[in-house]
Amino acid sequence: MRIRELNVNEEPPIDLLLLADPSRKLIEEYLNRGKCYIAENNKEITGVYVLLPTRPETVELVNIAVPENEQGKGIGKQLLMDAIQQSKVKGYKTIEVGTGNSSLGQLALYQKCGFRITSVDSDFFIRHYDEKIFENGIWCRDMIRLAQNLN
């Protein structure tokens, strides 16, 4: 498996990006301003992530996704480690990520890779999404913000 930046002439894997974020509008916005990376295995896309510069010296991982039939094999962790490494190489001091209060697997993954919880953006998903989101039997309302220093 190889992870590389998407070329400007290539179409981003929108169906995969929609797995992590149900809002096509938000996805299109951050694709315009950020950088999209894909994991490939024999020309097949096995993962994606998007890094978006936010504040000075800070970058946010705004999307990370692995196709359902490829999940649980360690690809998500490899993508996350690559995103951290890329951010370091590009000279950012902090990488941030946000996830739903109901995204228990994602909260586990981020913390296993060194992220610490910094704050909670209460009612984020109620303000920004039309449909109610449920995961693991939990109503997804709040965004848990996590960050990691890149020294």
Residue numbers of the site for ligand COA (CB under 6 A)? Answer: 19-20, 64-66, 71-77, 99, 103-106, 108-109, 112
CB of 50 to ligand COA, least distance (A): 11
Q: Which residues contact 41 (CB under 8 A, 6 or more apart)?
A: 1, 2
Measured from the CB atom, the residue of 6 and 19 that comes closer to ligand COA is 19
CB of 92 to ligand COA, least distance (A): 19
Measured from the CB atom, the residue of 42 and 56 that comes closer to ligand COA is 42
Enter the tokens of residue 44. Answer: 């097949």
| Residue 97, beta-bridge partner list | 61, 146
CB of 112 to ligand COA, least distance (A): 5
Q: Nearest Cα to 70, choosing from 39, 110, 94, 101? A: 39
- 66 vs 9: CA distance, rounded Å: 22
- 76 vs 122: CA distance, rounded Å: 26
Measured from the CB atom, the residue of 9 and 68 that comes closer to ligand COA is 68
Q: Whose CB is nearest to ligand COA?
A: 76
CB of 51 to ligand COA, least distance (A): 14
